[in-house]
Amino acid sequence: MYQQLGISKEVIELVNKAEKDCKDVFAKIDAICEYNSAKVLKAFWDNNVSEVHFNSTTGYGYNDIGREVVEKVFAQVLGSEDALVRGQFISGTHALTVTLFALLRPRDVLLSITGKPYDTLDEVIGIQDNPSSLKAFGVKYEEIDLVDNNFDEQKILNRLKQGKVKVIEIQRSKGYSTRESISIDKIEDIIKKIRKVDKDVIIMIDNCYCEFVSLKEPIEVGSDIIVGSLIKNLGGGIAPNGAYVAGRCDLVELVAERLTVPGEGREVGPTLGINKSFLQGLFMAPSVVANALKTAVVASRTMELLGYDVEPKYNEDRVDIVQNIIFHNKEKLINYCQGIQMASPIDSNAIPEPADMPGYLDKVIMAAGCFTQGSSIELSCDGPLREPYIAYMQGGLTYEYGKIAVMKAVNRIINED
Ligand SMILES: *Cc1c(COP(=O)(O)O)cnc(C)c1O
């Protein structure tokens, strides 16, 4: 069958060899999946999830019992007091934006301690001018870079001693940067140290791409509020849109009042038939994340065997579902992404080309043949057209489809050579 898919014998053998090398790593991924599946199921049991919760509301969306149970289940799974899980969040960036605007007031300071945040936040924060940015509202922004992929502890603690910081942002996943993603242990460690010098600062985590990759989530190690997208890990490939915010009750309340209306907050927001998808997506998520991880691992090993730089390596501990392949070559990056697109179930005959995208500074090539537009828990691969030409590959609803995509991408790189 692989040959019928246009994959050469040589490539099939290569990827099968890479797969053999990954056996032990796959076993570790399965163990984490087993643990997180139990965690999810317990939350369904404890909250008595029932068919009545697949209800739908329209209009204002008052008294939506399904929405309430969805939010309780998410809160329990994430180890938080409260959660807001809504289709009214357009994206992860939107949920991050609403959270920042909810928590920060004029003259407050936002401090990023993982360097420059994800590209789509540039105009939100005001790193790129925008008349509607936090900066335009008088919110100050500072950042402290990582040093050798670790928090710059001394600088962070000194800054906190100097004067009020309202919100600290930690972005776990690397985004479009060349750094490593940040493990839950590193987050636990820095939060303990921050708490010794500042008990009040709100610690917010951009948790995109990291849910269910480890045994613990950031709230369980002391952060105050976390944000993530439902067209990534926790949507399990089933949620058609939306995002979540979870954490301390008082903070989630502020976010709800900003998302909808002061005085109405979480009491409104019609679910329009989405409750079942959110619940089923969360139910599938541990397994889908495991499949995405295996896809990333086999890609990493395959590309390493071919002599490319990869981050992380197949046998390194993972924090998120993102696999970087560093091509140092524009054409190879483009060919790899095009190969991923050719292997997609949807739009397999489309050839992606680098283009300008709203929210991004460089041209970006994006391969995604997804059931849900822009979904990156479904296999997708993209990269900004700038040195050192890194492909950021993530997702994969099943490992088998992921493996085929890796074969197609490698096949295309070799053919084009
Ligand atoms: C994807 C992502 C976002 C933004 O999410 P969208 O849903 O694409 O807006 C923010 N931060 C990180 C680290 C991400 O990976």
Q: What is the pLDDT of residues 114-133, one digit of tens each?
A: 999 998 899 999 999 999 99
Asked whether residue 42 is domain-assigned, the answer is no
Q: Is 122 in the pocket of ligand 1 (CB under 6 A)?
A: no
> Are 305 and 334 in the same domain?
yes
Confidence of residue 113 (pLDDT cuts 50, 70, 90): very high
The structure tokens listed for 293 are 């991880």
User: Residue 62 in 3-state DSSP?
Assistant: coil
Instruction: Give the dihedral of Cα atoms 172, 79, 50, 266; nearest 10 deg.
Output: -80
Interval between CA 21 and ligand 1 midpoint (Å): 31
**Do 19 and 74 sit in the same domain of this protein?**
no
Q: With a 6 A CB cut-off, is 173 part of the ligand 1 pocket? A: yes
Q: Which domain holds residue 193?
A: 55-272
For the sheet containing 390-394, what is the strand order? 309-311, 323-326, 390-394, 380-384, 364-368
User: Per-residue pLDDT averaged across 276-293, rounded?
Assistant: 98
CA-nearest residue, atom 8 of ligand 1 = 92
Classify strands 243-247 and 140-143 as parallel, antiparallel or unpaired. Answer: unpaired
Distance of alpha carbon 213 from alpha carbon 18, whole angstroms:
21
What pLDDT was estimated at residue 237? 98
Are the beta carbons of 394 and 291 closer than 8 angstroms?
A: no
Q: What is the tens place of the pLDDT at every residue in 18-58?
A: 999 999 999 999 999 999 999 999 999 999 999 999 999 99
Question: Do the Cβ atoms of 305 and 299 come closer than 8 Å?
Answer: no
Q: What is the mean pLDDT of residues 85-110?
A: 98
Residue 264 token pair = 């109405």
Alpha-carbon distance of 295 to 349, in angstroms, equals: 22
Q: Of ligand 1's atoms, which has the minimum distance to the CA of residue 96?
A: 10
Domain total for the chain? 2
Whether the CB of 181 sits within 6 Å of ligand 1: no
Predicted local distance difference test score (pLDDT) of residue 359: 66
Q: Please say whether the beta carbons of 357 and 364 come within 8 A.
A: yes
Locate the ligand 1 atom nearest the alpha carbon of residue 320 and give its number: 15
Q: How far apart are CA 173 and CA 119, in angstroms?
A: 12
- Cα(227) to centroid(ligand 1), Å: 10
Distance 243 CA to ligand 1 centre (A): 10
Kindly report the average pLDDT of the chain as a whole number.
96
Nearest to 345 by CA among 294, 298, 397, 393: 397
CB atoms within 10 A of CB 9: 9
In terms of phi and psi (left: phi > 0; alpha: psi -120 to 50; beta: otherwise), the region of 276 is alpha
Instruction: For residue 175, name the pLDDT band (cuts at 50, 70, 90).
Output: confident
Question: Is 45 part of a structural domain of the chain?
Answer: no
Cα of 258 vs centre of ligand 1, distance in Å, is 20
- Token pair recorded at residue 103: 């928590």
183, 147: one domain: yes
For ligand 1, whether the C-beta of 180 sits within 6 Å is no
DSSP β-bridge partners for residue 130: none
Please state, in angstroms and rounded to a whole number, the distance separating the CA atoms of residues 101 and 80.
Answer: 21
Residue of 100, 169, 170, 173 with the most ligand 1 atoms within 8 Å of its CB, for mutation: 173
Q: How far is the CA of 279 from the centre of ligand 1 (A)?
A: 21
Q: Where are the alpha helices (DSSP H) in 80-219?
A: 92-103, 122-125, 153-162, 184-197
Q: Determine the average pLDDT of the residues in 252-268.
A: 98
Give the atom of ligand 1 at the shortest distance from the alpha carbon of 172: 13
For residue 219, give Cα distances in angstroms to 88, 189, 247, 248.
23, 13, 7, 9
In a domain, 44, yes or no: no
Q: Is the pLDDT of residue 357 over 70?
A: yes
Identify whether residues 348 and 232 lie together within a single domain: no
In percent, how much of the chain has pLDDT > 70? 100
Q: What is the pLDDT of residue 417?
A: 58
Domain of residue 305, CATH code: 3.90.1150.60
Ligand 1 touching residue 260 (CB < 6 A): no
User: Could you give the CA distance from residue 176 to residue 192 in angstroms, rounded to a whole number?
Assistant: 28
Q: Is 171 in the pocket of ligand 1 (CB under 6 A)?
A: yes
pLDDT given at position 358: 77
pTM of the shown model: 0.96
In a domain? residue 326? yes
- Report the alpha-carbon distance of residue 169 to residue 371 in Å, rounded: 32
In whole angstroms, how far apart are CA 247 and each of 75, 220, 287, 410? 8, 10, 24, 42
Give me ligand 1 centre to Cα 208, in Å. 6
83/216 same-domain check: yes
In terms of phi and psi (left: phi > 0; alpha: psi -120 to 50; beta: otherwise), the region of 54 is alpha
Give the tokens for residue 235: 């949507």
For the segment 182-198, the average pLDDT, to the nearest whole number, is: 97
242 and 293, same structural domain?
Answer: no
- Residue where one domain finishes, among candidates 230, 251, 272: 272
CA separation, residue 191 to residues 102, 114, 143 (Å): 22, 13, 17
The two tokens of residue 165 are 């910081």
Query: Does a structural domain hold residue 320?
Result: yes
Tell whether 343 and 261 lie within a shared domain: no
- Quick one: tokens of 98? 């609403």
Does residue 252 share a domain with residue 206? yes
Distance of alpha carbon 340 from alpha carbon 402, whole angstroms: 9
Please tell me whether residues 79 and 194 are part of one structural domain.
Answer: yes
Nearest CA residue ID for atom 15, ligand 1 = 208
Give the chain's largest Cα–Cα span. 65
Provide the pLDDT for residue 163. 85
The residue type of 150 is: N
91 C-beta closer than 6 A to ligand 1: yes
Same domain, 106 and 16: no
Mean of pLDDT values over 325-329: 96
Q: Please state the atom number of ligand 1 nearest to the C-alpha of residue 91.
A: 7
**How far, in Å, is the centroid of ligand 1 from the Cα of 164?**
28
User: Which single residue is written with the structure tokens 């045994």?
Assistant: 215
| 118 ligand 1 Cβ < 6 A | yes
| Greater model confidence, 362 or 36 | 36
Is the domain of 355 the same as that of 251?
A: no
Instruction: Write the DSSP string, 233-269.
Output: GGGTTT--S-EEEEE-HHHHHHHHHHHS-TTTGGG--
Domain co-membership, 350 together with 228: no
Q: pLDDT over 90 for what percent of the chain?
A: 95
Q: What is the pLDDT of residues 403-416, one digit of tens each?
A: 999 999 999 999 87
3-class SS at 327?
Answer: coil
Cα of 4 to ligand 1 centre, how many Å?
36
Q: Is any ligand 1 atom within 6 A of the Cβ of residue 212?
A: no
Q: Is 92 in the pocket of ligand 1 (CB under 6 A)?
A: yes
Ligand 1 pocket check for 394: Cβ under 6 Å: no
